Amino acid sequence: MKVWLLLGLLLVHEALEDVTGQHLPKNKRPKEPGENRIKPTNKKVKPKIPKIKDRDSADSTPKTQSIMMQVLDKGRFQKPAATLSLLAGQSVELRCKGSRIGWSYPAYLDTFKDSRISVKQNERYSQLTLVNSTSADTGEFSCWGQLCSGYICRKDEAKTGSTYIFFTEKGELFVPSPSYFDVVYLNSDRQAVVPCRVTVLSAKVTLHREFPAKEIPANGTDIVYDMKRGFVYLQPHSEHQGVVYCRAEAGGRSQISIKYQLLYVAVPSGPPSTTILASSNKVKSGDDVSVLCIVLGEPDVEVEFTWIFPGQKDERPVMIQDTWRLIHRGLGHTTRLSQSVITVEDFETIDAGYYICTAQNLQGQTTVATTVEFS
């Protein structure tokens, strides 16, 4: 019986080999239920670490976000390009996102309190509208968010927007000037600008000297041309002085700008150089006395004067007159003479004492004093 059983198992084994083409493993024991069927291995596998994309180093600093949009017809919006060219007469509507927005636009529109421009702050955005535009409106329009604490606000440098708009008008290649002649002061310690701005982006602009007549090259090292400002003298000196003008060419047309007188400034920049002088330092009762405060400075730098005098607390009536004029000191050097005069009539004992003058400009202030005694 055992022989027949062994013979049967042998026949089954050979039949399986014929079907699968494989030899069955010998001494293969059946796996217990739940036993791991994956053969353990000693092969070392390098663990995979997920790659993390490197962030741009600039991400650590706040990025500037453009908040300006241009409103087009039929309620469409688009971000304005760095420069726009529009025909004079067209209206412009710009919006900047934010609940507190500051604006800047060509000073020409502010100087004359032009009613063609309006700014309206809404809950979520501010809107600037310019109607009936002219070539004189050519310039930069910009906005910025404001960070406020109470009544004190500062500019949010991360939220700004700007565009420079050329308003093209027939017969006007240059942005119109209110005068036919202008003065540009040359200071050795800062740039000077001949403001030949054009209304056509593609215009070719050159700078010329009136006498001797010749073109002044904008070589990029001494003089450069900036379409938003004009011709910039990077390091002005006395040899640059004289009368100059600009010439523009575009679309087969040419035009000459107004003339500019370049004057070299002899006085260096800084707080006012101030002198005080009294008409008399000893005054009799009933006489008049004047005290003069004088400043010599740069031609284009304004000076403000303030006075402290003995009768001020008693509201003593006095007359104060401020004036200024330009002085040509030879070789093209020009200086601004600013002065303030305080006059006291019918001198009394309360008028005796110190007369103190303070002169102030953008660089600082200077205080001088003199005494006037009762004789």
Give this prediction's pTM: 0.60
List, for residues 303-360, the tens digit of each pLDDT value: 999 999 999 988 999 999 999 988 765 545 677 889 999 999 999 999 999 999 999 9
Cα–Cα distance measured from residue 41 to residue 38, given in angstroms and rounded to the nearest whole number:
9
pLDDT for 183 equals 83
Just give the CATH number of 181-264: 2.60.40.10
Kindly report the CATH class assigned to 273-374.
Answer: mainly beta
List, for residues 185-236, the tens digit of each pLDDT value: 888 888 999 999 999 999 999 999 988 899 999 988 889 999 999 999 998 9
**68-168 against 181-264: fold identical:** yes
Q: Where are the domains of the chain?
A: 68-168, 181-264, 273-374
Q: Is the pLDDT of residue 29 over 70?
A: no
Q: Is the pLDDT of residue 40 over 70?
A: no
pLDDT for 128 equals 95
Q: Is the pLDDT of residue 57 over 50?
A: no
Cα–Cα distance measured from residue 348 to residue 341, given in angstroms and rounded to the nearest whole number:
19
List, for residues 232-283, the tens digit of each pLDDT value: 999 898 888 889 999 999 988 999 999 998 888 766 667 888 999 999 999 9
97 phi, psi to nearest 5 deg = -75, 130
What does the DSSP assignment read for 302-369?
A: --EEEEE-GGGTTT---EEEEEEEEEE-STTEEEEEEEEEEEESS--GGG-EEEEEEEEETTEEEEEE
Just give the CATH number of 68-168: 2.60.40.10
Report the mean per-residue pLDDT for the chain: 83
108 phi, psi to nearest 5 deg = -55, -40
At 92 the three-state DSSP class reads: strand
